[in-house]
Structure 1
Amino acid sequence: MHANTSASSRTDIPESVAADCATLAHNLVGQSPRFREAMELVRLYAAWNAPLLVIGETGTGKELVARAVHYLSPRRHRPFIPVNCATLPDALVESELFGHARGAFTDASQARTGLVRMAEGGTLFLDEVEALAPRGQGALLRFLQDSSYRALGGNQLLHADVRIVAASNVDLRAQAAARTFRDDLLYRLDAFRVGLPPLRERLDDLALLVGHLLDKAARATDGRPRRIGAPGLALLGRYDWPGNVRQLEHVLLKAHVVCQGAELGVAELRRSAPELAQLDLPCAAVPLAAQGLRAAKRAASDQAERRFVEDWLARTAGNISEAARQSGLERAALSRLVKKYGVKARVPAAQVVASR
């Protein structure tokens, strides 16, 4: 997954920062259209100071994107400070963000610098921003309005030059509509937005990701490079990856450790991930040389039937009756094929109402 951005083209970047940029570009792996679109936005928004909101499911790489925005920006020489908002105690959110004066509360035996001051000139990354309590949301909103704040218990009005990048794995617009997240704060944070697609929606990137993550696993363990065979890659493509790239990374790390040879296969993957053990291997992934002629013909026939069923149900949004009518099959025959191959179908609304 390449980020379509090049640190080497920026001649003003010191060697250490250029290395950070190169590392981020190397970790942002993918060529699928939606992923490349997101990376183009990363490159575009990096040059500006307005708040940025990164949206994506758990494990899609939101912090990697936040770091890329920082290190590809004019702020690259200054700190990148990440914080998970879910870990901020409700009563101490203002203290954590803006610091406190000595004696500001019972345990404040000395003054403390807040995260905003620590990120001066750089970027403050607020992960799981939806977890902020109402008090914290209000404090953050006040800061976003004019970049000024007071330390808790302090009298001096301070100013900070900090870019805010926030991230969430939930629909903040729905939360704002439900009044669990301030809509005025959402408007401030959502000046720019990058949406990261889940892995199941960019499986075209699977081969690139697997190669990259296996290289990473080798560097983290025994240093021995391993590749994946076609059956193993086909098996990975059958899973929907609710934990996204992070889950894939963990599975491949375990599979790398248990693999005794140079090629990682189906057996190692199933040992490393029980969820993969429940999946059938696609017939096309089994080498024809390992099958008899009769078995090969049956496998090819089954594959063609399954593809036929999947294509017609996709065309008719899962409506078996409509798929049968358009394809020329009897509904009962199509239903048997749907059941045989476990293809998901949709019951028409009229039948649901009639059955009640």
Structure 2
Amino acid sequence: MSARFGFQLLGSSESLAKVRTQIERVARVDAAVLVEGETGTGKEMVARAIHYGSKRADRAFVPVNCGALAETLVESELFGHERGAFTDAKVASLGLVSEAGGGTLFLDEVDALSLKAQAALLRFLQDGSYRRVGGSSTKQSDVRIVVASNANLNELAEARRFRKDLLYRINVLSVYLPTLRERGDDGIELARIFLTRLGHHHGRPQVRLTPASIAFIQSYTWPGNVRELENVVQRAFLLSDSNEVDISQAVSQPRGERSAAEPAVFRTAKQQAVKEFERLYVSRLLMQTNGNLTQAALIAGQDRSAFGRLVRKHSLSPSRAQAATAARAGEA
């Protein structure tokens, strides 16, 4: 996989390797993409990787935080406006769609758009045509749309807070970014990378993590994901006056909750234990049934779709189980 597809997606876990493969495939196809994942997982990095891995790489990549757009000005921001179209429109504006022409328009927090704004976006996605606010002529823009959300858009659509027809338009292709909790030892690898960068930048190249930091990274839930980890490492580094940095003391907690932090370690350990049990249990069933999902689900006492979700959750592969079984048979 070329470096342009990796675009700062650091980590060696199998789950992240699957994301890189997804990005490479999606980048080759010129269609709308939905990037899903929790806050701080790196959705904009994925969007940039898709853009710079596509045939549009030499054109503009325009990121937009939909949550920061005033509801009354969404159409003006996206499609532009003519002079005098409204009170503050003292000069004409081309709009972000025009700015991204030939390239990629990245709409982050797309779930923050009002239903009216969603309707306007849907009209544009249908044929690439639009009108500036206050204008009479129809414009065209050849732009690829990549959207991101940390909300479940299917649930929002069922609750009628997000248009189903728009969801169908933007979810032609999709990329799911795993949480830091789902990425194994990537947290340790990333913390070391962040710390090394800080050390070189500040003239402390010998700086390293304490053993307690490594244990903390493995046990903490990281609700803010990679963004939180980078912030915590930077804070711990700046507050440390030695070459050993303990990041466990740098996690921000609301005042009065410091004493409640200890039980969270137990809860995290329990979650990790349950996750490991699930992974081993499902893996053994796949081996036992030679990768037959239906048979494995029957033994587990679950329906096939529920068991399939467990298989995907733990990044297991029925075909790999089949290959392993065949290999053991060959050895016998």
TM-score under structure 1 normalisation?
Answer: 0.70
Distance 1:188 1:148 in 2: 15
In the alignment, the residues of structure 1 paired with residue 102 and residue 77 of structure 2 have an alpha-carbon distance, to the nearest angstrom, of: 18
Which residue matches 1:288? none
Change (3 A) 1:225 1:51: farther
Look up the SS of the partner of 2:84 in the other structure: coil
After superposition, the C-alpha distances for 1:124-168 in whole angstroms (9 at most, x for unaligned) are 100000000111101100010011111111111111011000000
Indicate the SS of the match to 1:54: strand
CA distance in 2, matches of 1:77, 1:186: 28
> 2:36 — aligned with what?
55
Against the structure 1 CA distance between its residues 270 and 207, is the aligned structure 2 distance closer, same or farther, given a 3 Å change threshold? closer
Match of 2:2 among 1, 6, 10: 6
* Aligned-partner SS, 1:46: helix
Match for residue 191 of structure 2 among 201, 210, 228: 210
Query: Matched residues in 1 for 2:133 and 2:180: separation?
Result: 42
Match of 1:106 among 87, 95, 119: 87
Asked if 1 retains the 8 angstrom alpha-carbon contact of 2:7 and 2:48, the reply is no
C-alpha change, 1:232 and 1:189, in structure 2 (3 Å) is same
Identity of aligned residues (%): 46
1:219 is displaced (CA, Å) by 5.1
- Describe how 1:170-185 pairs up with structure 2 within 5 A: 170-185=151-166
* Structure 1: runs of 5+ lacking an equivalent: 8-20, 283-305, 316-356
Q: Which moved more, 1:185-194 or 1:102-111?
A: 102-111
Q: Give yes or no for contact 1:172–1:186 (8 Å, CA) kept in 2.
A: yes
Match runs of 1:157-168 below 5 Å: 157-168=138-149
Q: Distance in 2 between matches of 1:45 and 1:219?
A: 36
Q: Work out whether 1:95 is the aligned partner of 2:73.
A: no
Give the Cα separation in 2 of the matches to 1:310 and 1:110: 61
2:84 & 2:275 partners in 1: Cα distance?
70
The 1:103/1:233 distance shift into structure 2, 3 A limit, reads: same
Does 209-218 or 242-251 show the bigger shift? 209-218
Amino acid at match of 1:271: Q
For 2:35 and 2:199, the matched residues in 1 are separated by: 30
- In 1, Cα distance between equivalents of 2:274 and 2:92: 65
Provide the C-alpha distance between the structure 1 equivalents of 2:23 and 2:56, rounded to a whole number of angstroms. Answer: 14
Aligned-pair CA distance for 1:261: 2.4
Name the CA distance, whole Å, in 2 between partners of 1:311 and 1:63.
Answer: 31
Cα shift at 1:209: 1.1
**CA positional deviation for 1:312:** 12
Whether 2:253 is the aligned partner of 1:272: answer no
Shift of 1:222: 4.5
Q: How many matched pairs?
A: 269
Match of 1:294 in 2: none
Residue 124 of structure 1 aligns to a residue whose secondary structure is strand
Q: Which of 123, 139, 143 is the aligned partner of 1:142?
A: 123
Alpha-carbon distance in structure 1 between the residues aligned to 2:221 and 2:10: 18
Corresponding residue number in structure 1 for 2:112:
131
Structure 2, unmatched stretches of 5+, are 279-332
Which residue identity is paired with 1:77?
D
User: Root-mean-square deviation (CA), in Å?
Assistant: 2.6
Pairing 1:68–2:49 present: yes
Cα distance in 1 for residues equivalent to 2:169 and 2:27: 17
In the alignment, the residues of structure 1 paired with residue 162 and residue 194 of structure 2 have an alpha-carbon distance, to the nearest angstrom, of 36
Contact 1:104 1:152 in 2 (8 A): yes
Matched, 1:233 2:211: no
Q: Alignment partner of 1:180: what SS?
A: coil
CA distance in 2 between counterparts of 1:219 and 1:164 reads 38
TM-score w.r.t. length of structure 2: 0.75
Q: Which residue number in structure 2 is paired with residue 84 of structure 1?
A: 65
Q: CA deviation at 1:230?
A: 2.8
Shift of the alpha carbon at 1:51? Answer: 0.5
1:198-347 → structure 2 map (5 Å cutoff) = 198-218=179-199, 221-222=202-203, 224-264=205-245, 268-273=246-251, 278-279=261-262, 310=273, 314=277
Cα displacement (A) at 1:202? 1.5
Query: Structure 2 CA distance, aligned partners of 1:152 and 1:213?
Result: 45
8 Å contact 2:106–2:146 — kept in the other structure? yes
Q: Aligned in 2, Cα 1:313/1:53: closer, same or farther, shift over 3 Å?
A: closer
* d(CA) in 1 for partners of 2:149, 2:276: 34
Question: Cα distance 1:314–1:96, how it changes in 2: closer, same or farther (>3 A)?
Answer: same
